[in-house]
Structure 1
Amino acid sequence: MNPYLSRHFLRLGLLAAGVATAATGGPAQAAEVAVTSDSVRTAVNHRHHTEFRDSFSVHQLGTVTAARLGNRANATSSGCTADDACRSVALSFQIVTLSGHDVHLNAVNKGRAVNDHCNGCQTLAGAYQFVVSTPRPGRLTAAAQRRLADIHRRLDALGGSRLPAAELKRKADALAAEVTALLARPDSTTAATTTRPAVRLHRHLDGWPSH
């Protein structure tokens, strides 16, 4: 249980009415509702055989009373054959930092992969959502941002590989574990505390083949 947010932290449903605000790069002023959304989509077919796209977004919301977060990855392969297979990969990493008490959080994180008459195709959609809470507002330190940028570069590098979907899934999971470990360090943010930030990872992967 997150020591800084109330039992309402994971409650899904309607959020309190208020002015919607979203921030990237630095903490925002306190708001009634903070809203942020990220998505990535790939689609391949017999004319366009291979596509890899990734998103790596950092949103530093500051102090909020409620937040609505959305992160989606969608990959589609259609109309290819086993002798002329396609490869469609969409990966979205969303990092959100926030602080506050009795915060109402509505977090949606979905990955969806579709094979439409595409025998032998490699299709992978992965959505990773990292929610970081601290007792006081703060921003990610310069050192933490440099390490996140390095992880982002390695995520981008997967696009140039020809790894099968199952191996890409393992690589993405390993990068997500690095992000989680980094964000959980007490020195990852400028919040005035020696306590480790609370980090919750929402992970949703969908793919073909399924193993």
Structure 2
Amino acid sequence: MNNHRKPRPAKSVLGQRAVRIGLFAAGIAGVAATVPAQAASAATGGGRHAAFAADDVFSHANRKHHTQARDSFSVRQFGAADAVGVRNQADAVSAGCSADDACRSVALSFQIVTFAGEHTHLNAVNLSDATNKSCTGCQTLAGAYQFIVSTPKPVNLDRDVQRQLGDVHRKLDELTRSGLPAADLKRQADGLAAEVTGILRDAVAHAPKGTEQPEVTLHRHLDGWPGH
């Protein structure tokens, strides 16, 4: 019996300023799909503005479907906000295959979130989980990349930035479908994440400053079998 499952990391709050606000589950994203806009919402009341979004990618390979690879690339621009809650998650499962007939399961999720405010409360959760269930010799990789862009004043990502991000999105689609070994796939996914970080930092380099500086933060979590 080969039933490996790594413990899920605690759903800890990431970021300098954290509050508990509602997070709603998003639907499963297909290959090269962006999670539907319904997963991102904003609410106002009493002069306060709260925003939340959830992105979730799930891939499951088994004897009937030996290879499954899915990815998501979403951009959430919230504008001015008093509280922001975001969740990004990638889960990959390989089940019931053998060393002679191995499975391959890949799930990658890139989530970009922008918001503005001098005293915004942030609750950011970024998780990945790769599981082998009685699956000897299988390759299973889950990667969650969450990019948090905070600026004192609202800044919109212009057409040129959107075009550059679209190019990375297409590269991610190609990488997800490439069939590369998990170690190589992880390395190239990290390279795409570095591209996104550079694009976003350039985009806010000249953003209006306040008591706080514009900031781009990457939250990265990868899990996989074989281990790495």
TM-score, L = length of structure 2: 0.79
- 1:197 positional shift: 3.3
Equivalent of residue 131 in structure 1, options 112, 126, 148:
148
Q: Which residue of 1 aligns with 2:120?
A: 103
SS of equivalent to 1:32? strand
1:43 has 2:75 as partner:
no
For the Cα contact (< 8 Å) 2:155–2:204, is it kept in 1?
no
Change (3 A) 1:9 1:45: closer
The count of corresponding residues between Structure 1 and Structure 2 is: 195
Give the root-mean-square deviation of aligned CA atoms.
2.6
The 5 A counterparts of 1:4-83 are 10-15=16-21, 22=40, 31-83=48-100
For 2:137, what is the secondary structure of its paired residue? coil
Indicate the percent of aligned positions where both proteins have the same amino acid: 55
1:121 aligns with 2:138: yes
Residue number among 163, 170, 188 corresponding to 2:180 in the alignment: 163
For 1:66 and 1:188, the matched residues in 2 are separated by 20
Aligned equivalent of 1:153: 170
2:17–2:120 CA contact under 8 A, matched in 1: no
Q: Which runs of at least 4 in structure 1 moved beyond 6 Å after TM superposition? A: none
Cα deviation, residue 138, structure 1:
1.6
Residue 9 of structure 1, CA deviation: 5.2
Counterpart amino acid of residue 17 in structure 2: R
User: Secondary structure of the residue that 1:171 maps to in structure 2?
Assistant: helix
Partner of 2:224: 207
The runs of 5 or more residues in structure 2 that have no matched partner are 1-13, 23-38
Shift of 1:15: 3.9
1:183 aligns with 2:200: yes
Shift of 1:117: 0.7
For the Cα contact (< 8 Å) 1:79–1:116, is it kept in 2?
Answer: yes
TM superposition score normalised by structure 1: 0.85
